[in-house]
A and B are shown apart, each in its own frame.
Chain A
Amino acid sequence: QVQLVESGGGVVQPGRSLRLSCAASGFTFSTYGMHWVRQAPGKGLEWVAVIWYDGAKKYYADSVKGRFTISRDNSKNTLYLQMNSLRAEDTAVYYCARVRFCSSTNCYGYLENWGQGTLVTVSS
């Protein structure tokens, strides 16, 4: 069955960096687009970034553009989120999610599978 397992969260000081990973199994990772979605404590869901199945295209929410980088290694079935210049408002649970359909032109779809999330706390 489809499994997505995030890791890499923790407590980090403002201005520092952190890299999250999402290990995928149970499906052909290289044929699916992937998203990161976050949820601040007690708040709703916020889309963060998307990467096409082949890594050819990447898009970001304005709130993280220029600071976060989404990437993937299809040989390792792993998705990444490199987070630089972290701020207190980046504190959240970060989920990776598999999008149902991803064509060469559109990778925005419904999120069929989610990981359990990893908590990132930005605090001095």
Chain B
Amino acid sequence: EIVLTQSPGTLSLSPGERATLSCRASQSVSSNYLAWYQQKPGQAPRLLIYGVSNRATGIPNRFSGSGSGTDFTLTISRLEPEDFAVYYCQQYDGSLTFGGGTKVEIK
């Protein structure tokens, strides 16, 4: 089973700043089978990115994904007030596992 480790656990930033979230896999994720989700309190997760770098329908272009192999990054270019939430990465390379999450909070 591929284990995903997200860092940092919490990111304290101000609106307008750039957020860089990391997701590291215990073994190589083939075919770029890596997705990112956003979850706000009391809500279901929402798909942001799939296939490492493809934005889901309706996701603003301030969200971008990159990486390959075992190291992946979600970048939010300029934080908007609605972006403060918890973010999860997920791999789907023959199984399905989630990272532990990164909370992006207002500084």
Contacts and interface: CB of A to CB of B under 8 A. Distances in A.
Interface of A: 35, 37, 44-47, 50, 95, 100, 106, 108-117
A47 B97 contact: yes
Q: Which applies to chain A's interface (DSSP): helix, strand, loop or mixed?
A: strand
B61 interface: no
B56 A112 contact: yes
Interface of B: 33, 35, 37, 39, 43-47, 50-51, 56, 88, 90, 92-101
A83 to B, nearest CB: 19
B50 A47 contact: no
A114 B98 CA distance: 15
B105 to A, nearest CB: 15
Contacts of A46: 98
A100 B43 CA distance: 20
B92 A108 contact: yes
Contact of B96 (A100, A108, A112): A108
User: Shortest 3 CB-CB distances between A and B: which pairs?
Assistant: A110-B35, A114-B44, A110-B50
Given A114-B45, A116-B44, A117-B44, A108 B95 contact: yes
